[in-house]
Structure formats: structure tokens, C-alpha cells
Structure 1
Amino acid sequence: MTKLSEKDIETRLLQFPEWDYYDDAIHAEFEFENFKDCFSAMSRIAFECEALNHHPDWSNTYNILTVSLSTHDAQGVTEKDFKLAAAIEAIVEPEDEE
């Protein structure tokens, strides 16, 4: 995978308003109703990560999920990170609307 330019990343982030770019990664934080809902989303995201063979740096504290995506082999953000971000968004968006 080829590392994207900062301009390409900023342009692609227009489709991901919850995400920010800094420290050679894209980052987002999601708040859920409770720990169970957060952990459930993380479990669903884990299946997507395995399918894409791409794994986030992430953490959760009670109902908050913090995600950072970068492609370590490319030392920055690649198309792979945006594919995973889209999959994550598809999982967490219904949770945000409840």
C-alpha cells in the first residue's frame, strides 16, 4: 500500500466528519449508550478488521471507543485505513442514532 499525501487524506476526510488527521494516522472517538453497546460495536468491528487484514490501535473506557488508523508498513495513512474507517462508520452510525 502506498502512503497517501496529506492533501489526499484531508480530501478523503471530508467524507468522514468524525475523523481527524494527525501523527500520521486518522483518529475518531465514538460515544455509546453504555459499556455493553461499546463492546458490542468493538466485537463487530473486529470481524471487519480480520476480513480486511487490517487492525486498529484502539481503546475503550466504559462507553467511549477511541480509534487510530494507520498502515504501519507504509508509515502513514493508506487506502486500507479509509476502507476500515468506512466499515467502522457503518457499524457505529446506527448506534449514534438511537
Structure 2
Amino acid sequence: MSGRPALLTEDEITAALTALPDWTREGDSITRTVEASSFPAAIRIVDSIAVTSEQMDHHPDIDIRWRTLRFVLLTHSEGGLTSLDFTLAGKIDEAVRAGA
């Protein structure tokens, strides 16, 4: 086995999403949109997630529009969703709750 993350089955994805109610499935990815209290707060959230993402060596696609952040997760190398995406989604939720 190569150590690469395995694509999740549809049942595994459905189960994982029940634990992440703020995330939505969009094709081969999951997404979440967040409204921060201010632009600097939005950047602090992104900065916090950047550190975590580097530690995991797994990076979200992030769109920043003033106070609105949109996160898109998928494992590009596998062409779909793996456990890495759901682990990172949980860490993004923690950063959002903390307001970074």
C-alpha cells in the first residue's frame, strides 16, 4: 500500500457529513461558507487554518470576499474525498468557533 489516503465510499461520506452539519457536498468536494465579524477576523481564521493545513500537508481552496470565507475541500491527488478532507473540515470548524 502506498500510504496515500483512500477515497471514501458514498456511505462513509454521508456518515462523515452528519458530524459536520455546516458542510455541504458539492460533487467530489465538501464546502462551507463562513461570515466573520470583520475582514481582519476573516484573515485571522485563514491564518490559523494555514498553519494547520501545513502541519497536515493538506490544503483547502479558500475564497475570501471581505468578511465571507468559502472553503472547498477535496483530495486533489485522489480526485475526490478522503478522510483528510473531513479531518481538516473539523479543524476549520474549530478555528471558526475560536474566531481565530
TM-score class, shorter: over 0.9
- 4+ residue runs of structure 1 moved beyond 3 angstroms? none
How far has the Cα of 1:61 moved from its partner? 0.3
What displacement does 1:94 show?
Answer: 2.8
Superposition deviation, residue 10 in structure 1: 1.2
Partner of 2:51: 47
Cα offset, 1:6, TM superposition: 1.8
Structure 1: segments with no counterpart, 5+ residues: none
Pick aligned residue for 2:42 from 22, 38, 44: 38
Partner of 2:25: 21
1:91 aligns with 95
Check conservation: 1:10, 1:21, Cα contact below 8 A. no
Q: 8 Å contact 1:20–1:27 — kept in the other structure?
A: yes
The residue type paired with residue 29 of structure 2 is: A
Counterparts of 2:37 and 2:76, CA distance in 1: 32
Q: Secondary structure, in 3 states, of the residue corresponding to 2:77?
A: helix
> Deviations for 1:14-62, whole angstroms, at most 9, x for unmatched residues?
1111000112001000111110000010001000000000011111100
SS in 1 for 2:98: helix
Of 75, 84, 88, which residue of structure 2 is paired with 1:80? 84
- Please say if residues 56 and 70 of structure 1, whose CA atoms lie closer than 8 Å, have aligned partners that are also in contact: yes
Q: CA RMSD in A?
A: 0.8
* Corresponding letter in the other structure for 1:14: T
